[in-house]
Amino acid sequence: MKTGRALTVVAEIAGREELDRVLQQLRGQLQASFVSRLPDTHFTRFVIIDDDRGELPALLVWESNHDGSTAAYLAKCAGAEPAGLDAVLGCCAAYPARGARDRDAFVGWAKRRNVRAEAFYCAYRGVSRAQVDNDRAVHDAIRDYLDAHRGELVELAPVEIQHRLAAHVRAQGLDARPQGDGEAMVLLRKLGYYAALVVVAAVALVLFPITVPMAYLGWKELRRREEDEQPPKATRPVHDDEGHRDLEDRIQQNQLTHVVDVKPGTFRLVTMRGFLFLVDVLSRGWCVYGDLAGITSIHFARWVLLKDPRGRRHRLVFFSNYDGSWDAYLGEFIDRAAWGLTGVWSNTDGFPATEGLIRKGALDEEAFKQWARDHQRPTQVWWSGVRGATVQNVRDDVWIRRRLAGPVGDPDLPGWLRKL
């Protein structure tokens, strides 16, 4: 089964009052609602994206990080929770007459509205939601056993301790097999990444007489635009006029929904999508150890482009599920990946003054944080499948379970025991 996939269903709203009522009700009883029972789901949200200018229709976005193919996941959701999905998505235009009960029609409707992410990051690729739950239970069972038998275990050899812990875990009905070892997949991803770089470099050399003049002209145009598009400077400390903070810090994780207009013109759109392609390649082929440019607090994140069919205004949406506070999250981004944020968002309205696509920009901390707050949208319904766990907790649980039934004499065994 493919794991850690991205679904972004974007639909025009047809019944706003009813949708507001349903979403408010869901938010009030989230853990007992259908949202918490959607199968194979790591994180999910329903969020309304309005247009402050009134030029574009109001949209409902169902964003989900899930396991399995898009069609299989949608079919499972329709089979498991048709009434709940109908209550929310039934407020959207052209929704199937029989709703999710007509599984084929529902899957087709959702797939047609699924917008592919321009860049997507997952902190624990190759690990399913079921495996996350299992491995957390395995770690808890091991800790309980160690607490209850510590006196007798200290006299045993590491291999014997390992055997007893594995037997205890299996007796609890948990999966203790070392399947899904991600080291081989990580190596393959990195090899693919390097191979792609070699191919790109070879093509660039072949086309050198063409690419160099084009790159020079593109650079000159970029610098001209950067000088002409200076945004206003921040005039007061970071403030939260929309009250987003009131919805944050309820559990171990937080979420961010951010929507901003792309600067007008084909040049900015192409530049932004090209840079997002680079981010996507890095996220899928290089940042595969649970960190994105050194940031270890992000579970899932993606950028999605909402294209205006009439070409008036394209919007860039950023969805993130992360550990800790909003301030700490953005601060870590600034400290470790300011160049990446600037390379993407310097092509959008109001972003702090940038130089050479990736310089300055997000390094202006107060201006960047205020810009982020100004374009943040309230997320009406958001659900986490790992409410009590950080990214590092999840990865530790997986690492411990994978080595629980490892070979005798495994050189990692002493380290594994210390990590417990």
Any idea where the domains of the chain sit in the sequence?
A: 5-115, 129-179+390-419, 183-384
Residues ≥6 apart with Cβ < 8 Å to 369: 238, 327, 330
Output the tens digit of pLDDT for each of the chain's 420 residues.
788 899 999 999 999 999 999 999 999 999 899 999 999 999 999 999 999 888 999 999 999 999 999 999 999 999 999 999 999 999 999 999 999 999 999 999 999 999 999 999 999 888 899 999 999 999 999 999 999 998 888 888 888 888 889 899 999 999 888 765 455 666 666 666 667 667 766 666 665 566 666 666 766 777 788 788 888 777 778 888 888 998 899 898 999 999 999 999 999 999 999 999 989 888 876 666 667 778 889 999 999 999 998 878 999 999 999 999 999 999 998 999 899 999 999 999 999 999 999 999 999 999 999 999 999 999 999 999 999 899 999 999 988 888 887 665 565 667 777 777
Quickly count: other Cβ atoms within 10 Å of residue 166's Cβ.
19
Sign of CA dihedral 268, 273, 275, 276: positive
In this structure, what are the phi and psi dihedrals at residue 211, rounded to the nearest 5 degrees?
A: -70, -35
Cβ atoms of 92 and 11 closer than 8 Å: yes
And the tokens for 294?
Answer: 């050194």
Count of beta carbons in the 10 Å neighbourhood of residue 29? 10
CA distance 310 to 406: 58
User: What's the chain's Rg over C-alpha atoms?
Assistant: 24
CATH class name, domain 183-384: alpha beta
What does the alpha-carbon distance between residue 358 and residue 191 come to, in Å, rounded to a whole number?
27
pLDDT for 225: 80
CATH 3.30.70 fits 5-115, yes or no: yes
Rounded to two decimals, the pTM is 0.91
Q: What angle, 0 to 180 degrees and rounded to 10, lies between the N-to-C axes of helices 365-374 and 326-345? A: 90
Using the CB atoms, write b or e for 194-233: b if 16+ within 10 Å. Answer: eeeeeeeeeeeeeeeeeeeeeeeeeeeebeebbeebeeee
Closest CA to 308 of 297, 319, 316: 316
Fold match between domain 5-115 and domain 183-384? yes
Separation between Cα atoms, residue 109 and residue 104, nearest integer Å: 9
Task: Please give the pLDDT value at position 5.
Answer: 93
Q: At what angle do helices 326-345 and 266-285 cross, to 10 degrees?
A: 120
Of 103, 89, 93, 83, give the one whose Cα is nearest residue 33: 83
Spatial distance between the Cα atoms of 407 and 124, rounded to a whole number of angstroms: 24
Name the one residue in this structure whose structure tokens are 């999710």: 100
